[in-house]
Structure 1
C-alpha cells in the first residue's frame, strides 16, 4: 500500500511539473516614468481598464542591430563637472555610466571647439602648417579628456565615441573664419591628416575613437557659431579620395566614418550621393542624423529611404536636444507640458514654421527615439550631458537644456525627467540587441521592442495621452497584462519566454 502511494505521488509530481513548465508564466519587470511623479519606478500592480490594447511580439523577425544610446562629452559639460564637489561630480558620472545608472553605451564629442566650448580654438592654429607639426589637443586636457577617462573607468561594458569637427582650422577655409565658409580643395589632404593626428593624439591618452563625421551640420547653422559648409558631392569626394584613404594608409581603417550629420529632411540627397556607387560608398560606414527639422515629426519616410539605400550601413542619430531654451530648474512638471520652444518657433521660414509648435520636452524625446527605432535607426545620442541653469556655458549664448542641470555656485544637481527618459532606453536596451517585429492595436500608444544579447525581450512604450491604458503583451502563445499611467514612459523586461 505504501509503495503504491509513493508511485502515485511520483507520477502526480511529474504531471504537475510538466504542466508548470508548459504553462510557466512570463517573468517580467516594469519601470515607469510619468507626469504623476514616477522616475524609473518599478511598478508591480496594474489596473485593468475597459479597453485593452493588444501588442503581439514576433522575436523571430529581427530588424536592425542596436549600436547604443547615450550623450555627448562637451567642454561645457566637462567644465561644469570640474566646478562641482567631488561627490556631485561622481554622482553624475555614475548616473550616466555606472551599472546602477543609465549605462550609456554610445557617445559623441567635438573635435576642436563648438558652441558648447568656452571659446574658439583649433588643434592646428598655425597657418600654412601643411604637415600639422604644431597639432596639439592641449585645450582638452583640463576638462574634456578627464571627463571621458573618468567615464571610461566607471563604465563596466565600455562605450563607443563618435567625434565630429564643427569646422576645419580657419586658415584652411575660403573665408578664413571659424564660422561659415568652405574647405578649400588644396587643403583636403591636410584636413584628412588633421583627423589622423586627432585619432593618434587621443589614443595616446588611452581614448579610442570609434567613429568620425567629416563635419557637424554641413548645411551650416545660419552663420552663428563654428561651422563649415559641404555639399553632398564635396563631402563624398573628401571621404572617398582623401579621408578614407588617409585613415586606411595610417592603419586607422577600422574607424567608422559617418556621413552627413544634420537634419533628416536632407537625407535623400545625401545618401544618394554617398552611396551612389561602390567606390563612393566604400569608406562610409553609415549616416549620421539630427532631429532639429521639427519638434514632432521624426520623418519615417526619410529614415526608411536612407536605410534601403544602404541597408548594411549604420544609421545613427548623433545629436538632439531641447534647443534655444533656458532650462527650467527643479520643476519636473514643466518637462511634461507643451511650453518649450525651439529655434524654428521664431526663426523658421513661414512655410515651414508649422514644424515648430510649442512642445513638451519629454514627449519630444520619447516620441523621437521610439520612432527612430521603428524606422531602422540603430543608435541615438543626446547632446550635452550637463549644463548650468542658464543652459550653458556657451560662448555664443546658444542656450539649451540637458538631462542634468547644475548650479555650480551652490553645488546643486537637478536630474530632469529627460535623464530618466533617456535611461528607459540606454539602461535596458544593450548594444548588439536586435529590434524585433511587433503588432500594436493602438496607434496612440507608441511601442518599440528588442531582443537583447542575453535573450531578454525589452519593450519601451510611451503613452502621450491624458488617460491610462491597459494592454496585453502576447509572446510565444503566452501573455501578460499590464497598464501604463497617463503621460508616461514604460520599459518592460521579459526575462524568460518558455
Structure 2
C-alpha cells in the first residue's frame, strides 16, 4: 500500500497557545490527528491540544510530497541520552526523574548509552573495572563491577530502575579508558592501548557484558572507544587510530564476542562528523577485511563537522548502521531555549534521521545546577534534565525536543521519506509498527504561520503550523 503525504504552504494567521500545561499522550480515534506543540518561547511545552484534526476526502491542489512504503529507511532503535556516573548519582532513588524520562507518562526515552567505567562526569573520580596494584592482571582475576553499585556511582541500580520503568529501552556501552596498566601512559588520562594487551582488553569487554547481563542489564551494542581521536588532558580518555581500531575489532574483540556466543553489536568510531586528523576513520575501519566482518555500523558526535560529512561513507557502505551517540546541551550567555531546539533539529535530528540514523542519543541524562558533578570535564554541558540540590527537577530544552520524538516514535518505527523544505520548515515522518503515523514539524519563523495540508491515501487534513513552534502530529489510521 502506498501512502502520499502532501504539504502545501501558504501564509495565514493563528493565535498562539495560551495554556502552558503539559499533557500526557491520548490516543486519537480513527480519522483523528493529535497535535502536540512546544512553543519556542517556552510558553507551551509538549502540550497536547484538546481539539484534534479531522480527516476529509477533499482533493488537494498545489505542491505534493509523495512518500512510499518501499522508500522507508531502516527501523528506528530509539531516542535517549547517556547514563553517566554523575547522572546515576543524581537519579538514584529518584522515581520522579526516571518517570519523567522513561515512562509513558513522561517522554518515554527508549535508548540508553552507558559509560563503561569512568568518563568526565563522575562524582567519585576515575576508575576502571580492573584497577590493580600489580603490574598487570592478564587473567583479569580482579575484574569487578562493584564500583558501579557504589552509593556515589550507582550505575547498575539506576539502569535497573530505568528498565523497570520501560522494558523496551535498548542499551549501548562506551568506554573512555581501559585500565591504566594496559596503556602507554599508565594512567586513566591520555596514552594509547598497548598492542600486547589487545587480547586481554577484548576479554575485558566480554567480562563487562557478561557481568551486566547477570545484573539484568542486557547491553545490545558497544563502541570501542569514545572519541578515539581526542586525547583529553584532564579526564579519562585514550587515542586509538583507525588502523588500531580495525586491528582490535577484527583480530580480537569480534572473534572473542563470537566465541563467547554474545550477540552484542560492535559500532565503530564514536566521534565527530569530521575530525581533520583523520576524516576517513570510519571508512578505514569498515573496509578492513577482518574488522568489516564484525563492525555493524558507525557512531557519530556533532562537536565538529556536519551531518553531510557522512555521505561518502553512506555511499560506500549503504548497509552500515548509523547511530548518533553524543551531543550535549550547552548552557551559557549565548544559548536560549529556542536556539537549542533549532540547532539540534537542524544539525542533528533532521539531517541524521534523513540519512537513516537508527538512534539519536544526547549526552548526560541529568546534571545538577552547577552542571556536574564533574570529573574535570565540560564546564558548560547541561543534562537533559537538571536535578538541583533540593531535588527539584528542571526540564531543559533537550527534554522537550527528545519528547517530540521519543513519546510518539517507537522502537521499530520506519522513517517515511518526505521532501526537505529547508528554509521554510523542517519535517520528518514515521510509521510505527502498529500502523500509526507521526509527523514532526519545526517552524523557526518569528512571525509567519504555515498552512500545511497533509494527504495520505484517500484522506487529508489541514493544520496551521504556528510561528516559532515545534509540533508532533500523530494519527492511528488513514481513511
TM interval, short-chain normalised: 0.7 to 0.9
Could you tell me whether the CA contact under 8 Å between 2:35 and 2:52 is conserved in 1?
Answer: no
Does 2:255 align with 1:245? yes
Partner residue, 2:418: 438
Could you tell me whether the CA contact under 8 Å between 1:448 and 1:461 is conserved in 2?
Answer: yes
Q: Say which is worse superposed, 72-81 or 186-195, in terms of deviation.
A: 72-81
Partner residue, 1:150: 161
Change (3 A) 1:260 1:40: same
Q: Which residue of the other structure, out of 115, 119, 139, is the alignment partner of 1:114?
A: 119
1:124-135 pair list within 5 angstroms: 124-126=130-132, 127-135=135-143
Partner residue, 1:361: 340
Structure-2 separation of matches of 1:53 and 1:387: 48
Could you tell me whether the CA contact under 8 Å between 1:78 and 1:144 is conserved in 2?
Answer: yes
Cα distance, 1:278 vs structure 2: 4.6
TM-score (norm 2): 0.85
Does 2:179 align with 1:169? yes
Could you tell me whether the CA contact under 8 Å between 1:53 and 1:471 is conserved in 2?
Answer: no
Does 2:426 align with 1:483? no
Change (3 A) 1:59 1:450: farther
1:30-429 pair list within 5 angstroms: 30-36=35-41, 37-43=43-49, 44=51, 56-60=65-69, 61-82=71-92, 89-118=94-123, 119-126=125-132, 127-142=135-150, 143-155=154-166, 157-252=167-262, 254-266=263-275, 269-293=280-304, 298-300=306-308, 302-323=309-330, 325=331, 334-336=336-338, 360-367=339-346, 368-399=348-379, 400-408=381-389, 410-429=390-409
Consecutive unaligned residues of structure 1, counting only runs of 5 or more, are 1-23, 47-51, 337-359
Structure-2 separation of matches of 1:381 and 1:441: 25
What is the root-mean-square deviation of aligned Cα atoms in Å?
A: 2.3
Change (3 A) 1:177 1:32: same
SS at match of 1:439: coil
Structure-1 separation of matches of 2:211 and 2:329: 32
Cα distance, 1:280 vs structure 2: 2.9
Cα distance, 1:221 vs structure 2: 4.5
Cα distance, 1:141 vs structure 2: 0.4
SS at match of 1:308: helix
Consecutive unaligned residues of structure 2, counting only runs of 5 or more, are 1-28, 54-60
Cα distance, 1:372 vs structure 2: 0.9
Cα distance, 1:444 vs structure 2: 2.4
Cα distance, 1:57 vs structure 2: 4.5
Partner residue, 2:14: none
Change (3 A) 1:197 1:25: closer
| Alignment coverage as a number of residue pairs | 430
Cα distance, 1:25 vs structure 2: 8.8
SS at match of 1:65: coil
Partner residue, 1:16: none
